[in-house]
Structure 1
Amino acid sequence: MNNQSEPVKRFIAGAVCPACSQMDTIRMFQVDEVPHRECVACGYADTLDERGNSVPSELPTRVTIQPSSKPSPTSHVAQFYPNPKLKKKD
Structure 2
Amino acid sequence: MAVQKRFIAGAICPRCAEMDRIRSWEQNGVRYRDCVSCDFFEQAPIEDEAAAELETRVNREREEQQRDTIQTVKILDPRSR
Residue by residue over 1:18-60, the C-alpha shift from the partner in whole angstroms, topping out at 9 and shown as x without a partner, is: 1101110000001102110000000211112438xxxxxxxxx
Give the number of the structure with larger relative contact order, counting CA–CA contacts within 8 Å between residues 6 or more apart. Answer: 2
1:7-86 to 2 correspondences below 5 Å: 7-49=3-45, 50=47
Kindly indicate which of the two structures has a greater share of residues assigned to helix.
2
CA RMSD of aligned residues (A): 1.6
Alignment coverage as a number of residue pairs? 47
| Unmatched runs of 5 consecutive residues or more in structure 1 | 52-90
**Where does structure 1 differ by over 3 angstroms across 4 or more consecutive aligned residues?**
none
TM-score, with structure 1 as normaliser: 0.47
